[in-house]
Amino acid sequence: MSAAVDDATRAPNPFLYFWQLGYRSLIPVIPPGVEVDERSFMAAREGDHIGKAPGIKWSSGRWGGFKNWQRHEATPEDLEAWGAIGASVGLRLGDDGHAAIDIDASDPATAEKIENLALSILGFSPCRVGRAPRRALFYKLPHAIPYRAVVFEGPNGPEKVEIASEGRQIVVQGIHPKTGKLYEWPRRPVPAEDLTAITLEQLDAFMAAVRSALPAAVEVSENVATERASVDQTRLRGNPALVREAIEALPNSRELYPTREDYIRVGVALKAALPNEEEAFDLWRDWAAKDDGGVPGLWAKDWKGIKPPFEIGANWLYDEATRVGGWDGRARVIADQFGDPEAFAAAQNSEAPLSGEILPNLFDVLSIESLFSRPDPEFLIDRHIPEKSVGFLYGAPGAGKSFISLDWALHTAFNRPDWHGDTIKAKPGACVIYIAGEGASGYKSRIAAWMHRHNVASDERGKFGLIYQSVNFMNGEDVLKLARTLRQAVKSPVALIVIDTVSRSMPGADENLQKEMTMFVKACDVVKDAFSCAVLGVHHANKQGDMRGSSVLLGAGDFVFKLERKKGSPIGRLHCEKQKDAPDGWGDAYRFDVVTLGEGRSSLVPARCEERMSDDATLTPETTQAVFSAIQAAWDAGEPWGRNYQSGERMAARKMTRDFGFTMDRAAEVLDIWFGSGALVEAVISRRDKRKGVKPADKSSWADVAESGGDAFD
């Protein structure tokens, strides 16, 4: 027995235990195994509902329903009375934003996976277990919300992850009706004021993560009355013969339709589909009778309680019969609906689905007008890093990947308006988290050099955080620990998370296996969705210069950059190989300047190269062509231009200054760019005296540079 169970059951009154923790919306729940008064509406509902439904003990000594539980405000006197009769303790949800995530999964690994997603995305929660591995987690929302659920394929049929809030209740202490044992709390209840407060955006991210992680998962919701009222009720109707076929083909069992809401939903669809209520009820009664545990005395009463307006109808029944019952009548439905000229015209002229239903499991179909009205992609760093994305920067060892990624991170963390001319748009107060999996020792000098170069005061710290341990993205506990760290230790909104390097963040995994790289990307997606941020993975290139390992990263990344820089060269080139929602295939050159800090310390700081000269000496395609022609001619004549001062009058920068109007500084900068990009190379022209000179790498690179005017080397 867990400590929390012990605390509650040993208390003189378990209701008082939760009352003292600050939970005021307590209600009594009928315990299992008791006798229900035959006059109560609960009499026809014995079975799964007894042990979970609100109720009290009547003067007859038998139990009955507690009709006003959704509005009743408990008092200390109520608690004493309910404890005395042995009622189970229920908590009405929605009050003060209280919400429960009910994980109805029969597979232990699946239940644990869902719980880990919740803890990583939403934060800490108490945990209540009734029939393991099923469990419930508790959070606080800004306000009560309608019912939401993700339905997925379990080992023996559909299972659910439910968000219970408005109009719902949950048993927090008592005997479970199926196990006959006390509910347990592996993580004990906390005071109501200490429940983790979550946003609706976080809840959306959690539901999205659950949908992507579970098989055949779809989200369903309880539409509010205004949504139901907006549906054209006549469009929910169906051909009576086809509706009959569908409902007769639809099986019924507690495995397929485990809750009262599921059972009622079929009645709603039938009542909307057939205007003849008598015929519709007969079909629903026949369908309900397929369940051996059904209660005939309750069917008529429930039918009367189903009131318009409706949100689902014939098409929902057709889909259910096809999905669950293997019904093959869909072709006849289409022929029937489009065979009617009026229905065909209505379908063509309506933006609503053919039946007018609002269904959870539909593909979004955008008109051109709707497409054009959608907002353009938002960038954290314009052209480079989308606001909510997962992407990668890769290059050869020593190319300077970490200097570029750190430069991105620090510009963002110190709230700089742009990154070398590209606008930065970060959330107000947002921070950057840098996971330095290869150790923190070198980052002290790198960050100090960056602050010195960018004139950042020594007492200005920015919104930057360094995690110097490796975070294993292949391990759910590590991802959970990362999320918990960001929520509890950092607390600021997160704009960017840098993982440097990908290899250190997946220890023991095989980078060449698609399955393992897919797991890594999914973990990054979970973090991205949880914090609505960008996630950047820094990765290595292989011997061929391509991204190392499986092609999953290139395919899954929202953006991919490659950094090329020859060993010892002060110039490198950053190529944009992929932008999912923006132009790619471009590149920029960067200098890697040495910044000296004193005491023998120095580091590199990148800066974008300006590839235009001053107005009096513009680097045009014609000028570039002329310079390259002169370099080639000198090489062919055996008197090549030299790269350094030892070349004397043959020094390339002097030649460009004297013959083409460059300044010495501008000539040196342009030559660095051309050498860094590989357009120019230094080679031995004479093996006898080992004399070196400058020449174009090849005619194609020469032509490309000339065509671009020196601005691009793609």
* Euclidean distance between CA atoms 609 and 586, whole angstroms: 15
Is the pLDDT at 381 greater than 50? The verdict is yes
Polymer length of the chain: 714
- Residue 48 pLDDT > 70: no
d(CA 99, CA 9): 23
pLDDT (0 to 100) of residue 610: 61
Q: What pLDDT score was predicted for residue 296?
A: 76
Give the helix/strand (H/E) hosting 467: strand 464-467
Q: Which amino acid is at 424?
A: I
3-state secondary structure 355-403: CCCCCCCCCCCCCHHHHHHCCCCCEEECCCEECCEEEEEEECCCCCHHH
Average pLDDT over residues 598-610: 84
Residue with tokens 């000594």: 61
List beta partners, residue 696.
Answer: 680
- 710 pLDDT above the threshold of 60: no
Q: Alpha-carbon distance 108 to 129, whole Å? A: 12
Location of structure tokens 């919104």:
463
Pairing of strands 148-154, 157-164: antiparallel
Residue 337 pLDDT exceeds 70: no
Report the SS3 class of residue 589.
strand
Task: Indicate if the pLDDT at residue 526 is higher than 50.
Answer: yes
Phi, psi of 690 (to 5 degrees): 55, 35
* Listed residue (553, 465, 464, 544) closest to 516, CA to CA: 553
Of 268, 354, 339, 256, give the one whose Cα is nearest residue 304.
268
**Spatial CB neighbours of 299, under 8 Å, sequence gap ≥ 6:** 284, 285, 288
d(CA 337, CA 348): 12
Structure tokens at 596: 């000296």
Rounded Cα distance, 131 and 183, in Å: 8
Percent of residues, the chain, with pLDDT higher than 90? 34
Rounded-to-integer distance, Cα 248 and Cα 334, Å: 19
Average pLDDT score over the chain: 82
- pLDDT tops 60 at residue 2: no
The pair of structure tokens assigned to 88 is 């189970």
Answer whether residue 560 shows pLDDT above 50: yes
> What residue type is 667 in one-letter code?
A
Half-sphere exposure of 85 toward its Cβ, with a 13 Å CA cutoff? 24
The segment with the largest mean pLDDT, out of 211-220, 235-244, 495-504, is: 495-504
* Residues sharing a CB contact under 8 Å with residue 686, sequence separation 6 or more, in sequence order: 638
**Least-confidence region, from 337-351, 539-553, 600-614:** 337-351
| pLDDT score of 138 more than 90 | yes
Cβ-Cβ contacts under 8 Å for 59 (sequence gap 6 or more) = none
The mean pLDDT value for 403-423 works out to 95
What pLDDT band is residue 612 in, cutting at 50, 70 and 90?
very low
Structure tokens at 49: 């509902």
- Check residue 702 and give its pLDDT: 55
Binned at pLDDT 50, 70 and 90, residue 351 comes out as very low
Alpha-carbon dihedral angle through residues 355, 356, 362, 365, given to the nearest 10 degrees: 110
Q: Is 552 left (phi over 0), alpha (psi -120 to 50) or beta?
A: alpha
Has residue 611 got a pLDDT over 50?
no
Give residue-wise pLDDT tens across range 503-522.
999 988 888 888 788 889 98
Task: Name which of 593, 381, 610, 409 is nearest 496 in CA terms.
Answer: 409
Omega of the bond prior to 215 within 30 degrees of 0, cis?
Answer: no
pLDDT tens, position by position, 473-500: 988 778 878 888 888 778 788 999 999 9
Using the Cα atoms of residue 264, residue 234, residue 146 and residue 359 in order, give the sign of their dihedral: positive
Q: What kind of architecture, by CATH, is found in domain 615-708?
A: Orthogonal Bundle (1.10)
Its pTM surpasses 0.85: no
- Per the CB < 8 A criterion, the answer to whether 505 and 470 are in contact is yes
Nearest residue to 508 (alpha-carbon basis) of 546, 532, 474, 462: 474
Taking the domains of the chain in order of start, what are their residue ranges? 3-221, 225-348, 381-608, 615-708
pLDDT digit string, tens, across residues 318-333: 888 887 888 887 667 7
pLDDT exceeds cutoff 90 at 687 = no
Cis peptide bond upstream of 234, omega within 30: no
State the alpha helices, DSSP H only, in 86-221: 108-122, 200-213
Q: Which residue has the higher pLDDT, 222 or 513?
A: 513
Q: Which residue has the higher pLDDT, 621 or 626?
A: 626
Q: Which CATH superfamily is domain 381-608 in?
A: P-loop containing nucleotide triphosphate hydrolases (3.40.50.300)
Give how far Cα 606 sits from Cα of 310, 399, 407, 584, Å: 62, 12, 7, 21
List, as one string, the DSSP characters of 254-290: TTTS-SHHHHHHHHHHHHHH-S-HHHHHHHHHHHHTT
Q: 364-368, 466-470, 653-657: lowest mean pLDDT where?
A: 364-368
- C-alpha count within 13 angstroms, C-beta hemisphere, residue 137: 28
Q: Is the pLDDT of residue 688 over 50?
A: yes
The answer, yes or no, to whether residue 201 has pLDDT greater than 80, is yes
15 pLDDT band, cuts 50/70/90, is: very high
List the single range of 360-369, 582-591, 680-689 with lowest mean pLDDT.
360-369
Residue 168: phi, psi to the nearest 5?
Answer: -120, 165
- Specify the range with the lowest mean pLDDT, choosing from 174-183, 580-589, 679-688: 679-688
Euclidean distance between CA atoms 394 and 502, whole angstroms: 10
